[in-house]
Amino acid sequence: MTAPLWSLTAAEIARGIAERRFGAREVVAAALARLDAVNPSLNAVVQRMDAEALAAADALDAALARGTPPGALAGVPVTVKVNIDLAGQATTNGLRLQAGLIAAEDSPPVANLRRAGAIIIGRTNTPAFSLRWFTRNSLHGATRNPRDPGLTPGGSSGGAGASVAAGIGALAHGTDIAGSIRYPAYACGVHGLRPTLGRVPAFNATQGDRLIGGQLMAVSGPLARSVEDLALGLAALSAPDLRDPWWQPMPLQGAPAPARVALCPAPDGMAVAPPVRAALQAAADRLTDAGYEVAELPTPPWAEAMEAQLRLWMAEFHHAGFGIVAREADPDAAFVAARMRARLPEPTLAALMDDLKTRARLVRLWRGFLAEWPLVLCPVSGEPPFADHRDVASDADFAAVLAAQMPMIAPPLMGLPGIAVAGAPVGVQLLAGPWREDLLLAAARVLAPEPVAPVTPAF
């Protein structure tokens, strides 16, 4: 029996369209029908683009009929998170304050997806301010995990994780400053790639340049049901765009590196739940069987990097004034921001300079370590996916959630790439040195050689 078009991977769709086995309109129509069928249960896509998507599909089919070479993502239905600019659409970032913030031009990730031939079918949900590892806001509502509505779909790219897991689009765009790609992938049972700082260009003209924390740590990247699709998405997203001064023209394939993996089952001795430890050991065994040398080793600091990351991240709220959180009046954001504000006092100039000095030292330590051990196998989170909205249940729950997320919070301080690889019952994370997404993808193919099947919500 032939698989429905909406269930195909991005690579399968691109090949089928390039070989003219089916057309872009057929694929997009199937994707929109799938969105009709499952999105009412999930609320993953919060801005639909049906007419635009069908028009783009017709234009692509006409171009291919004229002999125009297809792009790498020709006809692939994709979703884009609501926190980046897409011309003619609101860049809401989950905020009522930005419901009317209409972008005049595409951000670099959107422009690059379009250049590769991808067709954007909708915009995915995020928590207010993209601040949580859970996805609910007062403008668009809550997103539910298609595998289990009692669990978080992750955040802040929770809509992206839920949509791609349920087969709404073959590829999803997400952003990540503290796990916002990797955690939704983990929670929804798909794969997510956080690229190296400077790999994927980014800029939102609606809001202008970010402060230093966001500039150093925030990236865009893909979520998908296959590792092959992550590679396709990364290649497309990485195309040049000089609006981003951090972007670098680095090759996607690096020099040969030793097949060595440092296993870090409990970064800096943090608490790690038994199912997570079991998943790490299973992944280590698979990599060993594939010819990798795997050894449990001490690594450079995690907790120190996490604390500096949090200070630089939250400095944006201190600078803008936490009054913006009060004006939005989103209960979840207010709860989280209050606890982060209490934990992280307003930075002084001296403190900011100290954190940047700390970053330089940690970058040096991690790069030196990764030169010897090119991959680190570690948890995505210290716990399996959380009960939905656990972080706002109590002060103690918030603290427990934050502590468990250290393996995702720390690496962005050093600008490192990381990948969350789906697994049963939980996935794992791999880290690599700058620009070595190729090593991450190669190891991920060992751990997940087959695509994840899309899930139909049972609620």
Q: Of 157, 163, 180, 381, which residue is the catalytic one?
A: 180
| Contact by Cβ (8 Å): 436, 374 | yes
Query: Does residue 107 carry a catalytic annotation?
Result: no
User: Which pair of tokens denotes residue 22?
Assistant: 């089916």
Residue for token pair 């989103």: 330
Distance CA 408, CA 233 (A): 21
- Give the CA count within 13 Å in the CB-facing half-sphere of 424: 4
Query: Does residue 238 carry a catalytic annotation?
Result: no
**Which of 161, 24, 36, 139 is CA-nearest to residue 91?**
139
Tallying the residues shown for the chain, one arrives at: 459
User: Which pair of tokens denotes residue 203?
Assistant: 């800029």
Contacts (Cβ under 8 Å, ≥6 apart) of 182:
176, 192, 194, 380, 408, 418, 419, 420, 429
Q: Of 81, 130, 157, 220, which residue is the catalytic one?
A: 81
DSSP string over 145-187: -SS-TTB---SSSHHHHHHHHTTSSSEEEEEESSSTTHHHHHH
Distance CA 57, CA 401 (A): 42
Q: Of 107, 130, 156, 220, which residue is the catalytic one?
A: 156
Query: Does residue 220 carry a catalytic annotation?
Result: no
Q: Where are the beta strands (DSSP E) in 181-301?
A: 191-194, 219-224, 260-263, 293-296
Q: Count CB-CB contacts under 10 A for residue 448.
A: 23
Which amino acids are annotated catalytic? 81, 156, 180
